DNA sequence: CGATACGTCCTTTTT
DNA sequence: GGACGTATCG
């Protein structure tokens, strides 16, 4: 089979490229994954490389997964031998083999942002700094950006010696590093930075990888930061003069500047890799001409770019609809009403629709509205599954078993469930640990020597022997059996079962879900040890997680809600971009500069180019921010879209007329609807009835429901009411659905019927 | 000592 | 409007 057939001329030129560095500038929707996968398949099929000689780096696990699948469809070789993964997962793989050269144990654990914050707070306290003045989060981001530049704490301190506050931050950085080392833990930035350091300081290891990887491919190159760039360079530029580095990116989609991504990496690629070939892909296969005209019109206003113009053969797209609303509630309502219209009238599947927003906080209003309309939805990010307390606790047990030096996890679970080891005992152990420079778990062995009550000593000893037992079990049980055993032996299960409230039961459900995720991992991967599992969940992105949940639930027709950042790389038939107001999108704060605005514009460009067929842009004139109203003017980005792209009979005009008309009717005929606020009545159903003239307003059902009743929900099927709260039209019900788990609904709005 | 109540800070965006 | 940390009550 001719692997290159079906590619256009430019794509083919890129895919056929053999030796030497090459930069492919691939605009949104121009088929860059296609080029990447075809090139890899081509290299292997023509015998230029063996599967294990290829390193392909992506930004999300989802992208890596997709790449593997698509290569698998093209050729019949052992794909698992290829190193296809994210920067972080590739680095973990390298570090697991040789990190001992840097003085770490190979069983290191990975600390996420929350763990970092806790550790930094400890450092601030230990240095006796004012916790009000020194904000852990701010310091975390400073440390992160220093690490991305490979700046050590010492260097930072000497560079900022004259500035008292900065010098202190440097001290925090220094102590933080020390603590990480003591815990044998790495943070996200370390994963990359330590790998680079390992290769910089160990010639033999570097040579090993130079020999191994004949071809290196990097996706989303515009989002690489300084250390990631160094990694690509050190692996890619070999002594023998070979540098087969193939990078794909789009400077117009560079949206991670705030976490150190450096747009000049892509703009200056030709300087760093001399004689690099450059190919531009501009033909778009995703969107209609209207959407591309809008996108081109917007991005034209940026200066930091190489310049390109997307085009398509698809010439007859629907015009963009602009929706102006009074406030965020109205906006949410309009979005859900329009979605249900698209679904019914144009047969657009829910899974082909997405709502994008700038900040996670905006999802709330949208979510409530979708719930009322009975539209199934899935939120990416925000409240993360793995961030729930019960899940984090179990993970902490696992991390401590994997690596006994992990003090953060030790502190987290030492007294959860309660085992009579109070703050004072923990403090004593901690001091002893610091004095003797060992971890807290290790110093728990010496608990008898410490001045503690006999009761406390016994409790600690019981804890230690329980953990020792689990460490033995780890080596003889399968992963899922083992985790189940941790759940039971630690008393965690008993503690949860004791709590018979709705929350308690939902915690049990969450753990069950976690256990089945572990089971799934065990079956799906060959490398399925505890350390593999822990690394896997630590490095999952929000989009990956949402994907996994979707797989697990086996249901596919969901509307997707997500931030524009999370949406990168995805596409949908119909896209709603919401919150298009100044100071919201673009978000821009007081210390704004032109670069920030350009990044916001690129972000908007990403949002617009997610749409294949239909694009809605919405904004609210009044938005509730931190509980108070703020008047907003519409985003400047709207004005940058050519006016001929817009549909002038914008839906809000029609809708407003219908609503007004109906309001008058209601006012004259239905004075008895007093328990409802007028707005709520209108939002509940009248609008829908007005547009479609089909469904009648439901009767009030708040008073009729009671705990134990069986109900039927329009979208979620049959369920049982387990709890009721609130009164009147605020009454909420917690319902256990047969197939959809536990959900909370507003009784007066939810499309449910008593059975 | 432990649970609850109130005050503070906050939020861009994520591997 | 919510998460988290300290103050206060039982």
Checking if the pLDDT of A280 tops 90, the result is yes
> Span A244-254, mean pLDDT?
93
pLDDT higher than threshold 60 for residue A666: no
Taking Cα atoms as reference points, which of A570, A554, A540 lies closest to residue A355? Answer: A570
Cα–Cα distance measured from residue A710 to residue A717, given in angstroms and rounded to the nearest whole number:
10
Average the pLDDT over A680-708 and give the result: 37
DSSP secondary structure code for residue A458 in this structure: H
A613, containing H or E segment: strand A611-625
Q: How far apart are CA A57 and CA A688, in angstroms?
A: 47
The yes-or-no verdict on residue A159 having pLDDT over 70 is yes
Q: What is the pLDDT of residue A176?
A: 93
Q: Is A32 a catalytic residue?
A: yes
- The answer to whether A33 is a known catalytic residue is yes
Query: Nucleotides of chain B within 7 Å of a protein C-beta?
Result: 1-2, 9-15
Mean predicted confidence (pLDDT) in A534-552 = 74
SS3 letters for A463-524? HHHHHHHHHHHHHHCCHHHHHHHHHHHCCHHHHHHHCCCHHHHHHHHHHHHHHHHHHHHHHH
A365-389 pLDDT, tens digit per residue, is 898 889 888 899 888 876 667 778 8
Distances (CA, A) of A226 to A143, A249, A261, A599: 14, 16, 7, 18
d(CA A722, CA A733): 7
Give mean pLDDT, residues A621-627. 84
Instruction: Report yes or no: A246 and A215 within 8 Å, Cβ to Cβ.
Output: yes
Structure tokens at A395: 């993970």
pLDDT of residue A549: 62
For A80-106, write each residue's pLDDT tens digit: 889 999 999 999 999 999 999 999 999
**What pLDDT shows up at residue A626?**
78
Q: Which CA-bearing residue is nearest the C1' of B9?
A: A132
The angle, 0 to 180 degrees and rounded to 10, between the axes of the packed helices A454-476 and A423-436 is 70
In the predicted structure, residue A730 carries a pLDDT above the cut 80 = no
Determine the pLDDT at residue A555: 61
Distance CA A360, CA A562 (A): 7
Q: What pLDDT shows up at residue A28?
A: 92
Active site residue A219: yes
Q: Encode pLDDT of A627-657 as tens digits.
A: 778 888 899 999 999 999 999 764 444 455 4
pLDDT at A676: 29
Known catalytic membership, residue A709: no
Q: Is the CB of A161 under 7 A from strand B?
A: no
Measure, in angstroms, how far nucleotide B15 C1' is from residue A292 CA.
30
In sequence order, the 6+-apart residues with CB closer than 8 A to the CB of A340 are A373, A375, A688
Q: Is A282 a catalytic residue?
A: no
Furthest-apart CA atoms within chain A: distance in Å: 87
More confident residue, A591 or A559: A559
- Cα–Cα–Cα angle for A290, A293, A294, rounded to 5 degrees: 90
Å between A74 CA and B3 C1'?
61
pLDDT band for position A278 (50/70/90)? very high
Query: What's the pLDDT score for residue A592?
Result: 65
Q: What is the pLDDT of residues A444-466, one digit of tens each?
A: 998 888 888 888 888 899 999 99
Pairing of β A109-111 and β A277-281:
unpaired
Beta-carbon neighbour count of residue A166 at 10 Å? 15
Instruction: Report CA A381 to chain centroid distance, whole Å.
Output: 5
Per-residue pLDDT averaged across A200-204, rounded? 95
What pLDDT does residue A175 have? 92
- Angle between helices A502-524 and A389-402 in degrees, nearest 10: 40
**Nearest residue (Cα to C1') for B14?**
A541
Overall average pLDDT of the A178-189 stretch? 92
Q: Which nucleotide is nearest to A423 (CA to C1')?
A: B1
Alpha-carbon distance of A392 to A78, in angstroms, equals 36
pLDDT at A279 over 70: yes
pLDDT value of position A437: 85
Q: By mean pLDDT, which of A143-152, A467-476, A586-595, A671-680 is the weakest?
A: A671-680
Q: Residue A406: which residues within 8 A CB-CB, separation 6 or more?
A: A109, A183, A184, A185, A399, A400, A439, A441
Higher pLDDT, A275 or A476: A476
Cβ atoms A487, A515 nearer than 8 A:
yes
Residue A536 CA, distance from chain mean position: 14
Percent of chain A with pLDDT over 90: 48
pLDDT score recorded for residue A206: 96
Confidence label for A552 from pLDDT (cuts 50, 70 and 90): low
Model pLDDT, residue A404: 94
Q: What is the pLDDT of residue A189?
A: 93
Judge whether residue A496 contacts strand B, using its CB and a 7 Å cut-off.
no
Encode burial over A189-200: b for 16+ CB neighbours within 10 A, e otherwise.
bbbbbbbbbbbe
Read off the pLDDT of each residue in A689-709 and give the average, rounded to a whole number: 42
From residues 613-632 of A, which are strand B contacts by CB within 7 A? 626
The pTM (predicted TM-score) of the whole model is 0.81
Q: Does the CB of A541 fall within 7 Å of any strand B atom? A: yes
The Cα A666–Cα A261 span in angstroms is 55
Average pLDDT on A691-719 reads 54
Kindly determine whether the C-beta of residue A228 is less than 7 Å away from any atom of nucleic acid strand B: no
A572-589 average pLDDT score: 91
Spanning CA of A464 to C1' of B2, the rounded length in angstroms is 25
Residue A690: predicted pLDDT: 26
- Looking at residue A131, its pLDDT comes to 77
Q: CA-CA distance, A557 to A666, in Å (whole number)?
A: 35
From residue A711, alpha-carbon distances to A287, A371, A373, A535 in Å are: 42, 16, 17, 42
The mean per-residue pLDDT over the stretch A323-343 comes to 92
* Annotation says A253 is catalytic: yes
- Across chain A, mean pLDDT equals 84
| Confidence check: pLDDT of A590 > 70 | no
Question: What would the mean pLDDT of A272-278 be, rounded to a whole number?
Answer: 87
Residue A3 CB neighbours (<10 A): 21
For residue range A481-514, what is the model confidence (pLDDT) as tens digits?
999 999 999 998 888 888 777 777 878 888 888 8
Is A245 within 8 Å of A231 (Cβ atoms)?
A: no
* Listed ranges A305-319, A519-533, A648-662; the one with the highest mean pLDDT: A519-533
In angstroms, rounded to a whole number, what is the distance separating the alpha carbons of residues A228 and A225?
5
Q: Rounded to the nearest 5 degrees, what angle is found at the Cα of A86, between the Cα atoms of A55 and A214?
A: 10
Protein footprint of strand C, defined by Cβ closer than 7 Å to any strand atom? A 121, 131, 626-627
In 3D space, the residue among A76, A101, A559 whose CA is nearest the CA of residue A340 turns out to be: A559
């Amino acid at each position: 089979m001719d692997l290159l057939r079906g590619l256009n001329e430019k794509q083919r030129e890129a895919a056929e490229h053999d030796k030497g560095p090459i930069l492919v500038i691939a605009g949104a929707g121009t088929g860059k994954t296609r080029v990447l996968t075809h090139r890899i398949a081509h290299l292997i099929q023509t015998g230029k490389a063996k599967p294990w000689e290829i390193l392909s780096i992506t930004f999300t696990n989802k992208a890596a997964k997709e790449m593997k699948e698509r290569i698998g469809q093209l050729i019949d070789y052992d794909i698992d031998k290829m190193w296809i993964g994210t920067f972080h997962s590739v680095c973990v793989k390298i570090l697991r083999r040789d990190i001992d050269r840097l003085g770490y144990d190979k069983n290191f654990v990975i600390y996420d942002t929350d763990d970092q914050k806790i550790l930094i707070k400890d450092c601030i306290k230990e240095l006796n700094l004012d916790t009000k003045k020194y904000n852990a989060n701010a310091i975390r981001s400073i440390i992160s950006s220093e690490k991305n530049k490979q700046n050590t704490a010492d260097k930072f301190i000497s560079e900022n010696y004259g500035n008292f506050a900065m010098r202190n931050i440097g001290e925090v950085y220094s102590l933080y590093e020390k603590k990480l080392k003591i815990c044998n833990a790495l943070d996200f930035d370390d994963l990359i930075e330590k790998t680079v350091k390992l290769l910089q300081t160990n010639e033999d290891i570097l040579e090993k990888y130079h020999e191994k990887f004949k071809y290196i491919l990097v996706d989303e190159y515009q989002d690489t930061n300084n250390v990631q760039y160094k990694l690509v360079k050190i692996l890619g530029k070999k002594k023998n003069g070979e540098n087969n580095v193939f990078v794909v990116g789009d400077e117009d989609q560079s949206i991670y500047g705030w976490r150190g991504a450096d747009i000049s990496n892509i703009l200056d690629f030709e300087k760093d890799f001399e004689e690099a070939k450059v190919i531009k892909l501009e033909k778009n296969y995703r969107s209609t001409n209207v959407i591309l005209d809008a996108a081109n019109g917007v991005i034209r206003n940026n200066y930091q770019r190489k310049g390109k113009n997307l085009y398509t053969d698809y010439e007859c797209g629907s015009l963009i609809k602009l929706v102006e609303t009074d406030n965020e509630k109205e906006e949410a309502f309009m979005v859900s009403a329009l979605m249900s219209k698209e679904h019914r009238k144009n047969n657009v599947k829910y899974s082909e629709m997405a709502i994008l927003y700038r900040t996670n906080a905006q999802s709330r209003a949208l979510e409530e509205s979708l719930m009322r309309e009975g539209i199934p939805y899935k939120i990416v990010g925000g409240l993360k599954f793995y961030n729930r307390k019960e899940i984090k606790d179990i993970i902490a047990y696992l991390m401590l078993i994997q690596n006994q030096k992990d003090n953060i996890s030790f502190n987290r679970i030492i007294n959860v469930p309660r085992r009579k080891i109070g703050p004072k005992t923990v403090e004593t152990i901690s001091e002893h640990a610091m004095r003797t420079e060992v971890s807290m778990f290790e110093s728990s062995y010496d608990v008898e020597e410490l001045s503690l009550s006999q009761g406390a000593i016994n409790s600690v000893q019981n804890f230690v022997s329980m953990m020792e037992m689990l460490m033995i079990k780890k080596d003889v049980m399968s992963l899922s059996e083992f985790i189940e055993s941790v759940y039971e032996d630690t008393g965690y299960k008993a503690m949860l079962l004791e709590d018979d409230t709705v929350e308690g039961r939902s915690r049990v459900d969450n753990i069950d879900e976690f256990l089945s995720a572990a089971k799934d991992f065990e079956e799906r991967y060959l490398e399925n040890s505890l350390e593999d599992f822990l690394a896997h969940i630590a490095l999952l992105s929000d989009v990956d997680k949402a994907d996994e949940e979707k797989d697990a639930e086996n249901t596919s027709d969901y509307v997707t809600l997500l931030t524009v950042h999370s949406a990168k790389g995805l596409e949908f038939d119909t896209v709603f971009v919401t919150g298009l107001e100044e100071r919201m999108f673009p978000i821009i704060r007081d210390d704004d500069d032109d670069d920030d605005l350009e990044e916001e514009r690129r972000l908007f460009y990403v949002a617009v180019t997610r749409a294949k067929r239909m694009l809605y842009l919405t904004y609210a004139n009044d938005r509730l921010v931190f509980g108070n109203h703020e008047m907003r003017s519409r985003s400047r980005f709207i004005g940058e879209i050519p006016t001929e792209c817009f549909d002038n009979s914008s839906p809000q005009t029609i809708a407003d007329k219908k609503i007004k008309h109906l309001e008058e009717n209601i006012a004259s005929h239905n004075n008895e609807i007093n328990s409802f606020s007028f707005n709520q009545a209108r939002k509940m159903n009248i609008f829908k009835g007005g547009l479609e003239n089909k469904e009648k307003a439901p009767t009030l059902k708040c008073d009729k429901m009671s705990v134990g009743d069986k109900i039927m929900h329009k979208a979620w099927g049959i369920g049982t009411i387990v709890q009721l709260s609130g009164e009147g039209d605020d009454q909420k019900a917690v319902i256990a659905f047969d197939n959809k788990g536990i959900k909370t609904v507003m009784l007066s709005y939810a499309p449910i019927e008593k059975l």
